[in-house]
Chains A and B, each alone.
Chain A
Amino acid sequence: MIPDLGKYAGAVLSSYAISVVLLAGLIALSLWRGARVRRQLDEMESRRKTDG
């Protein structure tokens, strides 16, 4: 499955791992905060509608 990386396997794999983790973290954080803020806003909007 994983190609033979020779003696540099550690370097290649770790750089891929770190990059993927960082990117995934950034994406997850962005989406998570996006979803949270959207929920909060929806809640406020609906409250405003029922109030007013």
Chain B
Amino acid sequence: MSLWEYANPQKFMRTSGALLPFVWIATAACLGVGLVWGFFLTPEAENFGSTVKIIYLHVPAAMMAINAWVMMLVTSLIWLIRRHHVSALASRAAAPIGLTMTVIALVTGAIWGEPMWGTYWAWDPRLTSFLILFLFYLGYIALWEAIENPDAAADLTSVLCIVGSVFALLSRYAVNFWNQGLHQGATLSLDKEENIANVYWLPLLICLAGFVLLFVALVLVRTRTEIRARRIKALVTRERMA
């Protein structure tokens, strides 16, 4: 029994199929509770007013935007090293989700920025890094779409993902150097003491869990779709050959 068993598409399909309903239920529960709690039941913050409620979307989306890329990097490496097709397809499945999360983080950030900083957009390091991340997602998805041969596409996008990760990190520091920002520091850290007050902390935690679960559910669904699409492609080719 090991993780690598799931490299077998059939095994993956069976397990993920059985798992999916539970993930969806947990997602709905967490997101429902977290967002409703955050939206309806939290007080206004002293200097943020009611805009503090945006945090329940902004922070989880931003976190998942980065984590999705990290997941793509890991699955790309697994594909390049161990040649498990499920891994490459999961990487492909995650990209549009990461893209959407990036857009949500950017849009909610812009809407939040307008009343707080007086501007929708500032060339602040964090904002700029996210814009660059957005471009990386676009390039990655475009490369997947452009290449016909599925194995070559998986290989090339994996190489791009690895090189892109290095450059994304580099851009993060370059941008930091380039402009000091408006954005406040990290909202969350392991040391809970220096975080935001408890009233906001708990619903935020639930929202974070909800976004993670949503990401897992969507990756599973999309990976299953990709596996099926691959199978269709194989069957079509076989029919043509026959």
Contacts and interface: CB of A to CB of B under 8 A. Distances in A.
Chains A and B directly touch (beta carbon < 8 Å):
yes
Interface of A: 3-9, 11-12, 14-16, 18-19, 22-23, 25-27, 30-31, 33-34, 37-38, 40-41, 44-45, 48
B90 interface: no
Contacts of A4: 50
A31 B232 CA distance: 18
Contacts of A22: 100, 103-104, 107
B116 to A, nearest CB: 9
Interface in B59-117: 61, 96-97, 100, 103-104, 107-108, 111-112, 114-115
Interface of B: 35, 39-40, 44, 49-51, 53-54, 57-58, 61, 96-97, 100, 103-104, 107-108, 111-112, 114-115, 214, 218, 221-222, 224-225, 228-229, 231-232, 235-236
Contacts of A38: 225, 228
B108 A15 contact: yes
Given A6-B49, A11-B115, A26-B218, A33 B100 contact: no
Contacts of A14: 111
Nearest to B109: A15
Contacts of A48: 235
A30 B221 contact: yes
Given A6-B50, A7-B49, A22-B104, A15 B222 contact: no
A3 B13 CA distance: 44
A34 B232 CA distance: 13
Nearest to B100: A26
A13 B104 CA distance: 14
Given A15-B111, A18-B107, A48-B235, A37 B228 contact: yes
B104 A8 contact: no
Contacts of A12: 50-51, 53-54
A9 to B, nearest CB: 7
Contacts of B224: 34
Q: What are the 10 closest A-B residue pairs judged by CB atoms, nearest first?
A: A5-B50, A34-B225, A15-B108, A15-B111, A19-B57, A37-B228, A8-B51, A41-B228, A26-B100, A8-B50
